[in-house]
Structure 1
Amino acid sequence: MILKLLQDIPISVLDLAPIIEGGTAADSLHNTLDLARHAEQWGYHRYWLAEHHNMPGIASSATSLVIGHVASGTRTIRVGSGGIMLSNHAPLVIAEQFGTLESLYPGRIDLGLGRAPGSDQPASRALRRGLGSDGSEFPEQLSELRAYFDPTASSSRPPGVRAIPGEGLNVPIWLLGSSGFSAKLAGQLGLPFAFASHFAPDYLLPALHLYRSSFQPSEHLDKPHVMVGLGITAAETVEEARKLATSQQQQFLNIIRGRTGKLQPPVDSLDGLWSPQEKAILQDKLQYSISGDKATVHARLQQILADTDADEFIIASQIYDHQARLHSYKLAAEAIKGELVS
């Protein structure tokens, strides 16, 4: 096996379009485009947005629209979904939406797909989603979706139905996951695979092994291709980064407690805000979340690359202050590329 060099690994942005306490969705979407423009300048390869519903702290629920917003305001960076939750949608609608995006911004659109709802049960009902669904319908939905892009695969879509725009266009499809289901399916179909280790760290290495061991070459890939999701909070000092990271930690703490809300300002310490049990759960969840200065980020990324043999990294940074978030992504790029970025 040829050892990969950290500076050769493509890096991308996973933007949850955070709505901060005291801010609005409009502020969030403005900041999303600003971050995308900076990320393009700093050499980031992709800019992905995630579908979530019924969450006061996330502004990217209409994911395809936000992708268009970002693509229209940038020039070269690839823009896509990380991901679209296919169980929430008719495959034809997604084929048409991403066919439209690819027609408007040719060669720049990615379609990352997940099988989770990205919502709670009330939102699932509002999305007309069967509450008994366990994701088992995902392979069939995926097959139908892919057939809309491939004119030769008519047997996998309803007779006489075509996606216009969409048909005949090359929109790269990625499978996203936090367990083994999508890892195995991506391998069997010869598709690239992205793992959400920033919130499901315990399954990262088993899922990557399952993906690579089940991989079958396809017209899309001749060998496995893995993107690993990471949480990174970078600052000039370790102490500053650790404080900034408390916004993300408070967000995870609320998830543990079954709550939703806007992204909170950082605090000096979470002592008194969490119980010992919650602290242990949180620390386990954040195994692949890095906070520190540039040297700390570089060293931890080297270790993760050695452990995972990743082909790409995608970085999520839930930071309250927009300027601090921009600076974190800039420092992360410098830590990975080993040079200053302008």
Structure 2
Amino acid sequence: MTIPLSILDLSPISSGSDAGQALRNTIDLARRAESFGYHRYWVAEHHFAAGVASAAPAVLIGQILAATDRIRVGSGAVQVGHRTPLSIVESFGLLDALYPGRIDLGLGRSGQRSKEAAAAPKGPRKEAFEKDGLLIPAAFDFSVLAASPRFAVYQRLLQQPAAVAPDFAEVVDDIRALIDGTYEGARATPGEGAKVELWILGSSAGQSAEVAGRLGLPFGANYHVAPASVLEAVEAYRAAFRPSQVLDRPYVIVSADVVVAPETAAARRLAAGYGLWVRSIRTGQGAIPFPSPAEAAEAPWTPEDAALVADRLDTQFVGTPDEVAERLRVLQRVTAADELLVTTITHDHGDRVRSFELLAHAWGILPSGG
């Protein structure tokens, strides 16, 4: 059985372009995704990145909803460490009031998670291994980024002075109570009664997976950001799962980075800038504008650079439609995912659109001739 295929879009800014063009590309891609048969279209939330324009999910979601007719649109994910539950519920309640029944509200633990990473004790590094054909690489140490001087600047700009993000479980409980109309002494308008689909997204077997399972909510696991811990995350979610009014069984969506072209060599050329882009993130400068294949070919690259981004490069699915579809089937089989969420970055917008179209054909959601 073919499971649903959905899209996560970061609104990437290509070298030589700007945020306005990146956002127009996102809206165009969402229209195309709807015609290609994709189930959902999610946008990310990123800050302080010269190469990513998706800084305000609710605003961008509204633009996408206005340009499409049927596809579900949502956040992957709202960073709850930087917003109050009321502001989140009112923003997404407003969207639901205008476009009822099409909104996914994905929540992520950024803020709390970053601080925990900086303070966490260092355990032994796990070696890479394969499970039934799926590579599980050695984990990247995110505490290096969280401990950088830039991190303190970012936190100061993202939060009010002396503000402390509450516990993630408390935030989720408040959001649910405001939507359900059960929050004592307060009501959200718009927001109360909104028919949004609530999701929890996570990169590890930590609190996000536990909260999603305990509350009986659907869970998103990141193979594209944290491939080393994807199996632990989905296992922790399923172990914690309790049936709810939302779900009677666990529901998992798993993400993957993909680039598809008619020929393998062409796909690899389109993906050539990915290593430079990931390196820029992991060295603390923030995502750079995505390089062209020619720029990537001329850029300096060291063995240390390769080691820094190896887990991401080795788990990016690059190739022909059939090659990428087969690797996605392996990912689905090993994680038992109910749905897959694919993200693609290329320098040229047309190549990105074509990648999603070719994959839709290979996955069977876009019939031949469609």
Residues 193-220 of structure 1 show CA distances to partners (whole Å, capped at 9, x for unaligned) of 0011101001001111111111000111
Q: CA deviation at 1:318?
A: 1.0
SS in 2 for 1:121: helix
User: Structure 2: how far apart are the matches of 1:293 and 1:230?
Assistant: 16
Which letter does structure 2 place at the counterpart of 1:280? A
Go from structure 1 to structure 2 and tell me whether the alpha carbon gap of 1:240 and 1:226 turns closer, same or farther (over 3 Å shift): same
1:167 to 192, 199, 209: 192
Taking structure 2 as the reference length, the TM-score comes to 0.84
Q: Which residue of 2 aligns with 1:310?
A: 337
One of 8, 11, 15 as aligned partner of 2:9: 15
1:288 is aligned to: 315
How far apart, in 2, do the equivalents of 1:189 and 1:33 lie?
33
| Identity, % of aligned positions | 40
Residue 259 of structure 1 deviates from its aligned partner by 1.9
Question: Where does 1:203-282 land on structure 2 (aligned, <5 Å)?
Answer: 203-260=229-286, 261-267=288-294, 273-282=300-309
The 8 Å contact of residues 13 and 47 in structure 1, kept in 2 or not, is answered as yes
Distance 1:223 1:25, change over 3 A: same
Cα deviation per residue 1:288-332 (whole Å; 9 max; x = unaligned)? 320001121122112112111110111110111000000001111
SS in 1 for 2:256: strand
Residues 65-97 of structure 1: CA deviation (Å, up to 9, x unaligned) = 000000000000000100100111011011000
Specify whether residues 131 and 193 from structure 1 end up closer, same or farther in structure 2 by C-alpha distance, changes over 3 A only: farther
Stretches of structure 2 lacking an aligned partner (at least 5 in a row): 115-149
Match for 1:204: what amino acid?
V
Q: How does 1:2-81 map to 2 (within 5 A)?
A: 5=1, 8-81=2-75
**Alignment RMSD:** 2.0
Residues 11-42 of structure 1 show CA distances to partners (whole Å, capped at 9, x for unaligned) of 11100001111111110111011000000000
Question: Comparing 221-230 with 167-176, which one deviates more in the overlay?
Answer: 167-176
Contact 1:121 1:131 in 2 (8 A): no
Partner residue, 1:333? 360
1:130 offset after TM fit, Å? 7.2
Amino acid of the structure 1 residue aligned with 2:105: L
Query: What secondary structure is seen at the aligned counterpart in 2 of 1:176?
Result: strand
Q: CA deviation at 1:256?
A: 2.3
For 1:316 and 1:131, how far apart are their aligned partners in 2? 36
Aligned residue number for residue 177 of structure 2: 147
Q: Does 1:137 pair with 2:163?
A: no
Tell me if structure 2 keeps the 8 A contact 1:173–1:191: yes
Sort the Cα spacing of 1:307 and 1:65 in 2 relative to 1 into closer, same or farther, 3 A.
same
Q: Is the deviation greater in 228-237 or in 123-132? A: 123-132
- Out of 121, 125, 137, the position equivalent to 2:156 is 125
Distance in 1 between residues matched to 2:96 and 2:106, nearest whole Å: 14
State the shift of 1:129 in Å. Answer: 5.4
| 1:17 maps to amino acid | S
Deviation, structure 1 residue 187:
0.6
Residue 222 and residue 66 in structure 1: after superposition, are their counterparts in 2 closer, same or farther (change >3 A)? same
Change (3 A) 1:53 1:269: closer
Shift of 1:341: 5.7
Counterpart CA distance in 2 for 1:253 and 1:107 is 39
3-state SS in 2 of match to 1:180? coil
Contact 1:124–1:131 (8 Å) recurs in 2: no
Contact 1:243 1:269 survives alignment (8 Å): no
For 1:337, give the aligned amino acid: G
Contact 2:205 2:235 in 1 (8 A): no
TM (normalized to structure 1)? 0.91
The structure-2 alpha-carbon separation of the partners of 1:323 and 1:147, relative to structure 1 and needing over 3 Å to count, comes to same
For 2:3 and 2:297, locate their aligned partners in 1 and report how far apart those are by CA, in whole Å. Answer: 34
Q: Residue 341 and residue 100 in structure 1: after superposition, are their counterparts in 2 closer, same or farther (change >3 A)?
A: farther
> How far off its partner does 1:249 sit?
1.9
| Contact 2:75 2:104 survives alignment (8 Å) | yes
AA partner of residue 246 (structure 1)? A
